[in-house]
Amino acid sequence: MVERKIMLLHYYTGIAIIALVSIHIAMRLIMPFSESLEFSNVLNNYKNLPYTISLELLLITVAIHGFNGVRIILLEFKQGKAWESFVKFLTLILILIVVAWGTRTIVLTNLM
């Protein structure tokens, strides 16, 4: 039952990522690619609230989808209660670390 819910979460985050990545790429292509990476342009992107919200959502959804994907791979290699608990714990920790690091960037750029 729990695995079924996790798989549904995997699918829904996957669909959300397609929409959010499209927004992310579109923001890069509204001007020449190299210009879009200039310091002031990147900072302005982070200070645009609707876009920042989409970035945070992208960060969370990709972290969940990506690390859950690795969890699925690791469970295909080896099974067992202890291993499954360890992999689940590791997945959660890695998701939290990456989301925390990305959120830190968003918060600090808004304070700059």
Partner 1 sequence: MSRKRHKTGIKAWLKPYGYSLERWSYFFQRVSGVVLLLYFIGHVIETGTITGGFEVWLNTLNFTQNPFGHAILLIVILSGTFHAINGIRLYLTHQGYLLGKPERPEYPYYPKSFSRAQRVCFWLSVSIALVFFLYGFNILFGE
Q: Which string of x and - marks every residue 70-89 that binds partner 1 (by CB under 8 A)?
A: x--x--xxx-----------
Distance of alpha carbon 10 from alpha carbon 62, whole angstroms: 10
Least distance from partner 1 to the Cβ atom of residue 1, Å: 16
Cα gap 26→62, rounded to integer Å:
18
Q: Which of 61, 65, 68, 56 is nearest to 102 (CA)?
A: 56
Q: Which of 75, 73, 98, 94 is nearest to 85 (CA)?
A: 75
Min dist CB 47 to partner 1, Å, is 12
In the region spanning residues 15 to 34, those forming contacts with partner 1, defined by CB under 8 A, are 15, 17-18, 21, 29, 32-34
Asked whether 27 and 41 are in contact (CB, 8 A), the reply is no
Least distance from partner 1 to the Cβ atom of residue 40, Å? 9
Alpha-carbon distance of 70 to 82, in angstroms, equals 17
Q: Which residues bind partner 1 (CB under 8 A)?
A: 7, 11, 14-15, 17-18, 21, 29, 32-34, 37, 39, 42-43, 46, 59, 62-63, 66-67, 69-70, 73, 76-78, 98, 101-102, 104-105, 108-109, 112
